[in-house]
């Protein structure tokens, strides 16, 4: 490949130990996953890690996709025709598009679904696989960056068990970040070797990542494109063959992704509105979110709680930050030393040193302003007051510009640094952290900047106004930190004779920082208007008996499960539909159809307006109603039963605490 730079040295410390190959790495990450998610392995078929909210929804989504895919591969050529018309929120169209579609995850567990039809087992294996694959992907990327497989093993642990992931244990789509390092690894191998199959693998990983989580489709695709541009620039690639191959890869990735974007656009045109800027701001990071750990985290959970907020527990881990700092400082120092032969007059060296001092001081002031929201202090009776973020940025920028103008050595160092891997991951990290702050920048709740770069993305780039959690860019921060940590650890390992001990201790410390053992299983929200459902998903070894009766209903039956509009009960109805696949008026997702909102509102006021409530049942198309009598407090189920029977609903049968009614069409 014309103009390509030399590939990094492979295994500079001698032959690669057998215990540090990809197979051994995968086994290490599998063992770590089993330990770090204990006691999940004791209840793989019956219990869900963390809570019974979003995980139940995602279990249903994965089962829905796997069921349609299995029917298709076994000969039902029309099985995928109704893929997006999921069985929830009847009769609203494109019901699956109210949340993630999780098609790659469904493909991963397809054999398990075909053999067991157990959505809990499928979900749990998928949950565990995210740790193994995240670790393996980062292992391959770090090994490519450093040439050191032993260091890469630890880097994989840094990424797979990043503390940020603890707060996302109920969001398997966010945990499914494994394809990002695989994509960068494939691209890096392509630029190193020129092999089209490496590019194809990187492109496949990029597509899989975008389809695994809509957030990463928007967040990571530009990162991958930026990496390609970076490699083209630093390797001075000008050959048409390479550029054509990259263009083809981009077109293929877009073509494979587009069919999964269209249903979301169709739903947007029908009724799914854009997220408001206020909602997006509410789920953005605060600067101090990066000093806020999840309360379940072993080491820092009760010590680092700088600014708790929804989706705002983004602490990346102390050790990985220190190792990344080692990588950055050592790289800059090495390039600075390499530029020392530049000859300049003494007065210019003196001026450059003074400019460097000013640049460091203004840089420290900028960091202090970002962390605290503003500074005001006195030195020798002189009052010093920061002018806010913009003023601090201007002062720091001016100081750096002056240093570069005075020092050829500084310019040479900067140019050299910008062509290295450390620079790319540092810049990508800074960009991801900045964007995670959302449409405005706040620290500790104090406004630093009313308009931030994410506001431009929200108003300009299609798709960004449809997602509400910019803070999830913290996963890209974890990706970059893990890669930088590998480089930092590699530099330390090259300066010691006790490499196995160093790496072993580092690995243990990484796991301790990322631990939340024991994981809660089948946790439920505190009861509110309704009683909380049972924490046992499969009492007596199977789904509640009312659903066995539902499987005997005609295939065109439509269920309404009451209470409707209560999230804990709605998501149970959605989850148990994996055993019968009848259409549901109920639903639970990242958004809600207007029709569902109106129906749930009417059915919450049965006593106040029983006629409107019954009309909403008839308008929903429900043919059968299930009353979960245990959900109602203070005998409220009796009023619901009386209301149904007065309007002609026919009792089909009682099944424990559940009662099934038939409703005339």
- Residues 151-184 pLDDT 10s: 999 999 999 999 999 999 999 999 999 999 999 9
C-alpha 481/C-alpha 514 separation (Å) is 14
pLDDT for the residue numbered 403: 84
Average pLDDT of the segment spanning 448-465: 94
Least confident range from 43-47, 213-217, 347-351, 525-529: namely 347-351
Of the candidates 367, 389, 406, which is a domain's last residue? 406
Whether residue 106 is predicted with pLDDT greater than 90 in this model: the reply is yes
DSSP 178: T
- Considering 177-181, 383-387, 399-403, the range whose residues carry the highest mean pLDDT is 177-181
Instruction: Read off the pLDDT band of 590 (50, 70, 90).
Output: confident
Looking at the structure of the chain, the number of domains it has is: 2
Query: E strands, 124-259, where?
Result: none
Average pLDDT of the segment spanning 202-213: 98
Whether residue 660 is predicted with pLDDT greater than 90 in this model: the reply is yes
Tokens 């024991």 correspond to what residue?
Answer: 518
Instruction: Read off the pLDDT band of 342 (50, 70, 90).
Output: low
Whether residue 387 is predicted with pLDDT greater than 90 in this model: the reply is no
Residue 357, C-beta contacts closer than 8 angstroms, at least 6 positions apart: none
- Beta-bridge partner residues of 659: 627, 654
Whether residue 384 is predicted with pLDDT greater than 90 in this model: the reply is no
pLDDT for the residue numbered 17: 59
Is residue 14 in a domain? no
Whether residue 355 is predicted with pLDDT greater than 90 in this model: the reply is no
Average pLDDT of the segment spanning 44-73: 97
Is pTM, for the whole model, over 0.75?
yes
C-alpha 474/C-alpha 285 separation (Å) is 9
159 closest CA partner among 581, 532, 568, 478 = 478
Residue 26 near residue 132 (C-beta atoms within 8 A): yes
Phi and psi at 581, nearest 5°, equal: 60, 25
Average pLDDT of the segment spanning 282-302: 96
Average pLDDT of the segment spanning 245-259: 97
Whether residue 460 is predicted with pLDDT greater than 60 in this model: the reply is yes
pLDDT for the residue numbered 7: 42
Instruction: Read off the pLDDT band of 528 (50, 70, 90).
Output: confident
CB atoms within 10 A of CB 567: 14
Terminal CA-CA length for the chain: 69
Is residue 171 in a domain? no
Residue 98 near residue 54 (C-beta atoms within 8 A): no
- DSSP calls for 6-21: PPPPS-TTSSPPGGGS
Average pLDDT of the segment spanning 477-506: 96
- Residue 143, token pair as written in the block: 């090994």
Whether residue 495 is predicted with pLDDT greater than 80 in this model: the reply is yes
- Residue 509, token pair as written in the block: 């410390």
Whether residue 2 is predicted with pLDDT greater than 50 in this model: the reply is no
Instruction: Read off the pLDDT band of 661 (50, 70, 90).
Output: very high
Whether residue 338 is predicted with pLDDT greater than 60 in this model: the reply is yes
C-alpha 33/C-alpha 631 separation (Å) is 36
CB atoms within 10 A of CB 195: 13
- Residue 562, token pair as written in the block: 């009451």
Average pLDDT of the segment spanning 340-352: 71
CB atoms within 10 A of CB 250: 16
Instruction: Read off the pLDDT band of 362 (50, 70, 90).
Output: confident
Is residue 477 in a domain? no
Is residue 384 in a domain? yes
Residue 351, C-beta contacts closer than 8 angstroms, at least 6 positions apart: 406
pLDDT tens digits, residue range 76-91?
A: 999 999 999 999 999 9
C-alpha 416/C-alpha 22 separation (Å) is 32
Q: Is the dihedral of CA 377, 379, 382, 386 positive or negative?
A: negative
C-alpha 82/C-alpha 332 separation (Å) is 56
Is residue 601 in a domain? yes
Provide, rounded to the nearest whole percent, the portion of the chain with pLDDT above 70: 94
Whether residue 284 is predicted with pLDDT greater than 50 in this model: the reply is yes
3-state secondary structure of 109: coil
Whether residue 1 is predicted with pLDDT greater than 70 in this model: the reply is no
Of the candidates 366, 384, 406, which is a domain's last residue? 406
Is residue 654 in a domain? yes
Instruction: Read off the pLDDT band of 11 (50, 70, 90).
Output: very low
Residue 20 near residue 150 (C-beta atoms within 8 A): yes
Instruction: Read off the pLDDT band of 578 (50, 70, 90).
Output: very high
Structural domain containing residue 634:
539-662
Is residue 70 in a domain? no
Tokens 């705002």 correspond to what residue?
Answer: 312
pLDDT for the residue numbered 8: 45
Mean pLDDT of the chain: 92
Instruction: Read off the pLDDT band of 349 (50, 70, 90).
Output: confident
571 sits in which H/E element? helix 567-576
Of the candidates 390, 406, 422, which is a domain's last residue? 406
Whether residue 436 is predicted with pLDDT greater than 90 in this model: the reply is yes
Is residue 282 packed enough to be buried (19+ CB in 10 Å), middle (13-18) or exposed (0-12)? middle
Whether residue 622 is predicted with pLDDT greater than 90 in this model: the reply is yes
Instruction: Read off the pLDDT band of 13 (50, 70, 90).
Output: very low
Whether residue 9 is predicted with pLDDT greater than 60 in this model: the reply is no
DSSP 49: B
Is residue 552 in a domain? yes
- Residue 166, token pair as written in the block: 């603890």
pLDDT for the residue numbered 643: 96
Average pLDDT of the segment spanning 187-201: 96
pLDDT for the residue numbered 381: 62
């Amino acid at each position: 490949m014309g103009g390509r730079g030399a590939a990094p040295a492979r295994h500079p410390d001698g032959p690669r130990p057998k215990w540090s190959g990809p197979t051994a790495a995968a086994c290490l990450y599998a063992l770590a996953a089993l330990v770090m998610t204990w006691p999940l392995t004791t209840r793989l078929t019956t219990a869900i890690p963390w809570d019974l909210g979003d995980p139940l929804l995602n279990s249903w989504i994965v089962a829905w996709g796997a069921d349609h895919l299995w029917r298709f591969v076994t000969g039902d050529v029309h099985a995928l025709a109704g893929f997006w018309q999921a069985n929830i929120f009847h009769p609203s169209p494109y019901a699956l598009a109210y949340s993630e579609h999780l098609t790659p995850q469904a493909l991963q567990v397809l054999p398990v679904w075909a053999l067991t039809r157990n959505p809990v087992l499928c979900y749990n294996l998928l949950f565990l696989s995210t740790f193994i694959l995240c670790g393996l992907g980062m292992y391959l990327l770090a090994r490519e960056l450093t040439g050191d497989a032993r260091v890469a093993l630890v880097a994989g642990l840094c990424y797979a068990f990043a503390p940020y992931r603890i707060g996302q244990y109920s969001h398997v789509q966010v945990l499914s970040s494994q394809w990002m390092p695989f994509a960068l690894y494939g691209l890096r191998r392509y630029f190193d070797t020129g092999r089209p199959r490496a590019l194809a693998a990187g492109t496949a990983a990029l597509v899989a990542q975008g389809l695994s989580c809509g957030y990463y489709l928007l967040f990571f695709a530009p990162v991958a494109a930026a990496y390609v541009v970076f490699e083209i620039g630093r390797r001075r690639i000008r050959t048409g063959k390479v550029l054509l191959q990259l263009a083809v890869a981009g077109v293929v990735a877009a073509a494979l992704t587009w069919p999964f974007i269209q249903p979301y656009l169709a739903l947007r045109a029908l009724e799914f509105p854009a997220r408001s800027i206020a909602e997006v701001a509410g789920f953005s990071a605060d600067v101090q979110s990066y000093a806020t750990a999840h309360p379940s985290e072993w080491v820092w959970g009760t010590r680092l709680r700088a600014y708790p907020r929804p989706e705002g527990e983004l602490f990346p881990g102390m050790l990985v930050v220190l190792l990344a700092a080692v990588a950055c400082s050592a790289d800059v120092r090495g390039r600075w030393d390499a530029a020392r032969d530049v000859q300049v007059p003494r007065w210019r060296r003196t001026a450059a040193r003074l400019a460097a001092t000013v640049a460091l001081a203004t840089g420290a002031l900028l960091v202090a302003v970002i962390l605290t929201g503003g500074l005001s202090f006195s030195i020798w009776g002189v009052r010093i007051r920061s002018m806010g973020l913009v003023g601090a940025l201007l002062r720091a920028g001016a100081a750096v510009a002056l240093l570069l103008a005075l020092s050829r050595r500084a310019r040479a160092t900067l140019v050299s640094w910008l062509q290295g891997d450390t620079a790319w991951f540092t810049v990508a990290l800074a960009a991801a952290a900045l964007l995670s702050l959302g449409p405005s920048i706040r620290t500790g709740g104090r406004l630093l900047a009313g308009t931030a770069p994410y506001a431009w993305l929200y108003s300009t780039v299609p798709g960004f106004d449809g997602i509400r959690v910019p803070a999830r860019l913290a996963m890209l921060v974890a990706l970059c930190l893990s890669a930088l940590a590998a480089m930092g650890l590699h530099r330390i390992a090259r300066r010691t004779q006790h490499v196995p001990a160093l790496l072993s201790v580092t690995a243990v410390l990484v796991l301790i920082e990322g631990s939340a053992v024991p994981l809660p299983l089948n946790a439920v929200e505190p009861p509110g208007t309704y009683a909380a459902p049972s924490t046992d998903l499969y009492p007596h070894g199977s789904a509640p008996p009312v659903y066995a009766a539902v499987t005997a209903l005609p295939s065109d039956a439509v269920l309404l499960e009451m209470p409707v509009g209560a999230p804990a009960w709605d998501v149970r109805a959605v989850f148990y539909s994996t055993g019968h696949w009848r259409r549901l008026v109920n639903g639970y997702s990242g958004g809600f159809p207007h029709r569902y909102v109106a129906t749930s509102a009417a059915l919450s006021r049965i006593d106040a307006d029983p006629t409107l409530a019954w009309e909403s049942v008839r308008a929903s198309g429900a043919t059968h109603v299930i009353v979960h009598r245990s959900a109602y407090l203070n005998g409220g189920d009796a009023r619901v039963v009386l209301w149904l029977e007065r309007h002609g609903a026919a009792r089909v049968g009682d099944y424990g605490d559940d009662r099934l009614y038939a409703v005339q069409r």
